[in-house]
Structure 1
Amino acid sequence: MSHISDNDKNLLEAIKKRIAKASGLSEVSDWVQKDYEFVVFFIEDQTGHRLSLSTVKRIWKNEFERLPHTTTLDILANLAYNKDWHSIKKEHLSPEIQTIPKREMEKKPRKVKSPKLYFLILLAVLLLSVLGTYLLSTISTRSPSKVSEEVSFSYEKTVEGKIPNTVVFRYDIEGVDANRFFLQQSWDSSRKVEIFKGTNERTDIYYIPGYFMAKLFADEEIIKELPIHVTYEDWFMAARQPMEKIYTFSPNLWSKEDYLGIDKRKLAQKGIDLNKKLQLAFYYVIDFGLDGDDFEQTTHFKMEPLEAIDCPIFNLHVQGVDGYYWIMFGNKGCESELEMRLGDVIHNGKNEDLSMFGTSVYEWQKVDVLTKDKEVTLKLNGTPIFSSAYHQSIGPIMEISYFFNGIGMIDNVQLKNINGETIFADDFTKR
């Protein structure tokens, strides 16, 4: 990493603006959490490389005193202009070149049409980088981008099928050249902690179940990822307010109705302020023994109005070993706020018409997800509303979960395999 000059700052700003424009987002001053999350998805969709949410936030908010890692700069530069950072910098500084050559980019997220081509290009860039470093160095220094296969990273849970669950992480970062190291237990950047050379263990607690991807960072670069399956043999209910603070609810606090939900009084009893934004979530986390590329899922959902929530939104999440579905439905008129990810394909209501996902969320709605060989059809109340396909398998299903940005409830949840056989079902009548 190096201190940032005015030229570097201006060049990085040009790259950021071009990526933001290509993704269909507004000025960064108007961005909220989900916009930063979408940029993470957009970068991964276009390049095959995933930057952490904290890295994207830091770069777009200009919250850095030094340049990001060269690997990160190359990812952004290649996305914006189809050239690596140093090539663009050289052109940018050359007197003969008045502007940076532009790369034609689609105005909305697209499918990755040739994963093999992306892989070969990225592999070539990586090999050239390794060779250049070797020729220019008299001492072999192993940077983060070259040691991911050599870094050891493992874990052990202290209990099975229970929450909270302490996990013991073990790692070896002694051979990595970086200024600082971090461990992050999941997607939640607020759970990112610093680790140091000379240590090889760190413990952390999971307060909710799920299929998580723990990450080891060297500076801003992810050098190793590790799947963590924190299972729970029943439904699990939790809320966040703010997102960094988790509240959990035992079954005795759940609504005594033939659906899964919780009433306002019980939320307030746990300290939830109904005059502020919140997230309510229901999880069922086991190995379902079900192929995520060939299955059927049915869910009924409904929400309750809250004064603090202008656009009530319901999120359906199916997590596989290698990918996931994230499907959003909102109240009519709120469609611009919706996003969706099906495997490696992303759709965003800011630059794509997702009006078919707007519905009367204060009334019971039925959602069907029908997937056959990575071809997805979505139905709302029995009517097909959307079809799409993806390329990269999401693998076996390890978690289903539902999220509301307010008070919500679900009923009649079913999972079936491709032969129509019921693998999981719950109508919540026996509670």
Structure 2
Amino acid sequence: MLPEEKLLAALRQKIETSLAWGPMEQWTNNDFEVLSDRIAEATTTTLSTTTLKRVWGRVAYASQPSTTTLDALAVFAGYEHWRAFRASQTEVTVAAPSIPRIASEDAPKPESSSGWKNYAWPLGIAAILALTLLLYQSFAPAPAPEESSLPAIIKPEDYHLSFRPVTTGVPNSVVFSYDAGKAPVDQVFLQQSWDERRREKLDRNGNVHTSIYYLPGYYRAKLVVGNQIVAERELYLRVDDWVAAVSREPVPVYLPIEDIRQNGQLAIAEKQLLDLGLDLQPEPPVTVLTNVGKTEGLWSNDFTFQTRLRHDYATGAAACQHARVLLLLKNDAIIIPLSAPGCVADLSLYAGGKSYDGRNTDLSPFGIIGDNWLDLSCTGKDGLLTFRVNGKRIFQVESEESPKEIIGIRYEFSGMGSVDELRFGNSSGEVWVEEF
């Protein structure tokens, strides 16, 4: 296969040729806006002009384009997706046959001795025979490899995956129907989501598999043969109310939501966990508050999110008071980390398709968790994601992704925490308000 840089250059060239706008160096900002609109019309994926300028090298940027960007460009160029384009761009190198150089009749001829004259004829015949054999060997087809050495070709169109949720809410069993009968190896898996650890081995000659999902959200189930994804399906699990749980493997411990919703707050108390026989030390459990399905019409490029929260446990190993607020998107998330001031090196922010590690990024503004309530907000507008705490802007990133739909919210606390209110809206007004 071609190197990734050459592949991207080849894809750009195809698009430039189809547009016929002249040299890319002469494209204006308006040209990139028109290209963005055309890609959106053809693929339903919106790529910002900034992203397109990065792809075309008009804006300096070190990272590779995201898979979403590559897929959209490949579809615009007439391919099913980036993988299909990459598969079509193979380099075939055929070695030229080695043919001895034959002297021209015009070339000066060396002086001949009498000995050479005596052997010239038989040597000439031998040279012709040798040359004929060499040419035959150069052009003759290579013997076909043994059948066992031929690589198996996996064609996604030979496989099928569909699903049917058994009920609503969570936990929820999902019945998957699949066809993997043409798999060349007995390594067929169902991957529940992006997380490769959530793989379950399938019988390649079977056709039904049931899997359990314990938390609501947006999942992209994958049928995998060997290490190749051959089919994907989007699974959207909504809930009618908040879900409270203690994160445990393999099954979370659910908490009655009526016990959590008290005094105008969502709050998980220490006594509730102890009554369930859950140990808080030496490793405090992670508690979860989540709701999915109330944010229809909200997109990551036009939204406001505001919430008021507090961490309620700082004993022993929970001294760092780690917490995360996850804005759940279709096939993605915005992950906002929080901690006590001295623990920011352990934080990791994920936003706009990029990770920011506290070990090589200054995330100290997110180290503000303590015993008091704090107001946290995040807004998305014009390709920028802006984070504020108590009304003060603390961080801003430029999104590298096309806009994605917001589908829900999740709070995670190391130990316990409380949420006082939540508000989602966009440029048209408020979409979802919770005051509990």
Could you state the TM-score of these two structures normalised by the residue count of structure 1? 0.66
Aligned to 1:362: 371
Measure the CA separation in 2 of the matches of 1:110 and 1:353.
20
Matched residue, 1:260: 266
Q: Where does the alignment leave 5 or more consecutive residues of structure 1 unmatched?
A: 1-105
Match of 1:222 in 2: 229
1:200 to 204, 207, 216: 207
Structure 2 partner of 1:112? 65
Residue 9 (structure 1) aligns with: none
Contact 1:158 1:167 in 2 (8 A): yes
Q: Say if 1:236 and 1:173 are closer, same or farther in 2 by CA, change over 3 A.
A: same
**3-state secondary structure, aligned to 2:316:** coil
Question: Aligned residues: percent identity?
Answer: 24
SS at match of 2:325: strand
Q: CA deviation at 1:407?
A: 0.9
How far 1:148 moved relative to its partner?
3.3
Cα 1:257–1:129 shift into 2, 3 Å: farther
Unaligned 5+ runs, structure 2: 1-59, 75-81, 94-141
1:163 aligns with 2:116: no
- For 2:390 and 2:183, the matched residues in 1 are separated by 53
Q: Residue 170 of structure 1 aligns to a residue in which SS?
A: strand
Q: Distance in 2 between matches of 1:248 and 1:190?
A: 22
Q: 1:211 aligns with which of 215, 218, 224?
A: 218
- SS in structure 2 of the partner of residue 229 of structure 1: strand
Partner-residue secondary structure (3-state), 1:232: coil
Asked if 1:298 corresponds to 2:306, the answer is yes
1:125 deviates by 4.6
Counterparts of 2:377 and 2:62 in 1: how far apart (Å)? 24
How do 1:235-254 and structure 2 match up within 5 A? 235-241=242-248, 243-254=249-260
1:317 equivalent to 2:278? Answer no
What's the offset of the Cα at 1:381? 0.6
Q: How far did residue 122 of structure 1 move?
A: 6.4
CA contact (8 A) 2:320 2:340 kept: yes
CA distance in 2, matches of 1:414, 1:376: 17
Q: SS of 2:400's equivalent?
A: coil
Write the distance in 2 (CA, Å) between the matches of 1:300 and 1:129: 54
Equivalent residue number for residue 182 of structure 1: 189
Kindly indicate whether the alpha-carbon contact (under 8 Å) linking 1:293 and 1:394 is maintained by their aligned counterparts in 2.
Answer: yes
What does the per-residue CA deviation read over 1:49-87, in whole Å, with 9 as the maximum and x for residues that have no partner? Answer: xxxxxxxxxxxxxxxxxxxxxxxxxxxxxxxxxxxxxxx
The answer on whether the counterparts of 1:324 and 1:394 sit within 8 Å (CA) in structure 2 is no
By how many angstroms is 1:401 displaced?
Answer: 1.0
Residue 426 in structure 1 maps to residue 434 in structure 2: yes
Give 1 or 2 for the bigger CA radius of gyration: 2
State whether residues 216 and 238 of structure 2, in contact with CA within 8 Å, keep that contact through their aligned partners in structure 1: yes
Map 1:15-34 → 2, pairs under 5 A: none
- The alignment yields a C-alpha RMSD, in angstroms, of 3.1
| Paired amino acid for 1:266 | Q
Preserved CA contact (<8 Å) 2:190 2:201: yes
Where do 4+ consecutive residues of structure 1 move more than 4 Å? 108-111, 113-125, 128-132, 135-142, 187-191
Q: Return the offset for 1:367.
A: 0.7
Q: Distance in 2 between matches of 1:270 and 1:188?
A: 29
- In structure 1, how many angstroms separate the alpha carbons of the residues matched to 2:369 and 2:268? 20
State whether residues 214 and 251 of structure 2, in contact with CA within 8 Å, keep that contact through their aligned partners in structure 1. Answer: no
Distance in 2 separating the partners of 1:228 and 1:239: 23
